[in-house]
């Protein structure tokens, strides 16, 4: 039974069909990377998987939940599915620890002592134990993104979604964040991520999916996909990234 099952998903914005019949499975403990040019539908697909965008046709199941429009069902889904965006979305008036403790206390009614212990645990996991009492504006972009990842991990998700989480960071800070994501992958976290970091996708993802014009154009084991692209579109995309 796959942890993520996407069946014939279609999504339109007005007259423009952005997703044109997507079929994709992610097994438990596997990492799947979505790559492709801007406008290929990658981020839209990820937002549909978390229920942030309503699909027009097809079905999505993730972590035992069917994605729909019922608000209580969406709340239940988001207890089990974490998502991290390009923007960190940390509350500037709360300390790092308070940012991380907030959702478990409100959504899961976790006691203050337990939520603090969890916050300390996930901060250690992302290498920021000493930043518990710091505020977001005292952190670098890479540190803020690692806090955003820790905040999602504090909810004990079954699946993590990442949407271009390094695209606003310089190369050194990008490396910090990718190291945390690689550590999560080694720990068995199920992950579906949109990325432009081809080296990371090739090295860490079990499967890479190349999206082109709203469709899955090519998919397969990551190393094989990058070494032997079967379509001219993927071959050109890989060549342009190397340059």
User: Tens digit of pLDDT for each residue in 209-222?
Assistant: 999 999 999 999 99
In 3-state terms, what secondary structure has residue 66? strand
**Adjacent-strand bridge partners of 59:** 7
Domains, the chain, in order of start with CATH, read 4-89+158-242 (3.40.50.300)
* Model pLDDT, residue 171: 87
**CA–CA separation, 144 vs 142, rounded Å?**
5
DSSP 34: E
* Across 6-25, average pLDDT: 97
Of 90, 103, 85, 87, which is closest to residue 43 (Cα–Cα)? 85
Q: What is the largest CA-CA distance in the chain?
A: 56
* Model pLDDT, residue 88: 85
Q: Residue 242 — very low, low, confident or very high, per pLDDT cuts 50/70/90? A: low
* Model pLDDT, residue 161: 96
* Across 62-81, average pLDDT: 91
Whether the pLDDT of residue 229 is over 90: the answer is yes
**CA–CA separation, 197 vs 175, rounded Å?**
10
The token duo for 24 is: 């994709």
Of 182, 94, 195, 104, which is closest to residue 146 (Cα–Cα)? 182
Angle, helix 96-107 to helix 71-80, in steps of 10 degrees: 130
* Across 97-104, average pLDDT: 93
Of 75, 129, 131, 135, which is closest to residue 107 (Cα–Cα)? 75
| Residues with Cβ within 8 Å of residue 223, at least 6 apart in sequence | 202
* Model pLDDT, residue 71: 87
In 3-state terms, what secondary structure has residue 218? strand
Q: Residue 243 — very low, low, confident or very high, per pLDDT cuts 50/70/90? A: very low
> What are the CA-CA distances from residue 83 to residues 87, 134, 162, 226, 227 (Å)?
11, 23, 6, 26, 30
Q: Residue 28 — very low, low, confident or very high, per pLDDT cuts 50/70/90? A: very high
* Across 116-135, average pLDDT: 95
> What are the CA-CA distances from residue 47 to residues 20, 55, 141, 163 (Å)?
15, 10, 23, 9
* Model pLDDT, residue 83: 93
Whether the pLDDT of residue 22 is over 90: the answer is yes
């Amino acid at each position: 039974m796959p942890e993520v099952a996407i069946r014939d998903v279609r999504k339109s914005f007005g007259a423009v069909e952005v997703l044109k019949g997507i079929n994709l499975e992610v097994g438990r403990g596997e990492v799947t990377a979505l790559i492709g040019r801007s406008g290929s539908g990658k981020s839209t697909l990820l937002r549909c998987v978390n229920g942030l965008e309503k699909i027009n046709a097809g079905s999505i199941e993730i972590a035992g939940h069917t994605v729909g429009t019922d608000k209580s069902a969406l709340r239940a889904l988001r207890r089990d599915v974490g998502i991290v965006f390009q923007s960190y979305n940390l509350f500037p008036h709360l300390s790092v620890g308070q940012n991380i403790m907030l959702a478990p206390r409100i959504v899961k009614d976790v006691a203050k002592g337990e939520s603090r212990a969890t916050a300390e645990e996930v901060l250690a996991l992302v290498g920021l134990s000493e930043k518990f009492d710091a505020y977001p504006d005292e952190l670098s972009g890479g540190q803020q993104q690692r806090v955003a990842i820790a905040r999602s991990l504090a909810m004990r998700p079954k699946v993590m979604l990442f949407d271009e989480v390094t695209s606003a960071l310089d190369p050194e800070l990008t490396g910090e964040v990718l190291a945390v994501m690689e550590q999560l992958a080694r720990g068995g976290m199920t992950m579906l991520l949109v990325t432009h970091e081809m080296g990371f996708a090739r090295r860490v993802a079990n499967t890479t999916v190349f999206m082109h014009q709203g469709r899955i154009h090519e998919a397969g084991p990551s190393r094989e996909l990058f070494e032997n692209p079967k379509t001219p579109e993927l071959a050109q995309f890989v060549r342009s990234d190397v340059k």
